[in-house]
Amino acid sequence: MRPKGLKVLLVDDTVMILQRLQSLLSEVKQVSSTESVTSAEEALVLMEGYQPDVMVLDINMPGMSGIDMLRKLNFHEMIKPVVIMLTNNTFAGYRDECMRLGADYFLDKSRDFGMIPTIVEKVTQKQAISF
């Protein structure tokens, strides 16, 4: 049986962004744990064992991009996390590709950062309704 609360995976190559996200999410009582990694490669390794309910994913990172990571995830073989793309690259083509590949949200780092706690709280409400 899964522990109560949401598990969140944060994927961004900027440590300051990860720290800010962790700080924001520490205020959300529904979050039971967070894991942070600085690359998509690390995130893919962690995904299977951690099985996050929510994943916050950057697009531009060294090595594999967030978009490439979305392509590699097989949401049919796993419980799909709610995917929040958080990026400075708000080009409509990126947004459309991310949504096509399974992202649920596409947020601008410079103006939408504060929306993440509200989105996570909504995930909890949806889970309560589905059980």
Q: For residue 50, what is the domain's CATH number?
A: 3.40.50.2300
Is 29 inside a domain boundary? yes
Is 1 inside a domain boundary? no
Q: Tell me phi and psi for residue 108, to 5 degrees.
A: -85, 125
The structural domain count of the chain equals 1
Answer left, alpha or beta for residue 63, where phi above 0 means left and psi between -120 and 50 means alpha.
left
**Confidence check: pLDDT of 104 > 90:** yes
Is 112 inside a domain boundary? yes
pTM for this structure? 0.90
Is residue 9 within 8 A of residue 51, CB to CB? The reply is no
pLDDT digits (tens, 9 = 90+) for 51-77: 899 999 999 999 999 999 999 887 656
Is 68 inside a domain boundary? yes
Is 40 inside a domain boundary? yes
Is 77 inside a domain boundary? yes
- Helices 116-130 & 15-26, crossing angle to 10 degrees? 50
What range defines the domain where residue 76 resides? 6-130
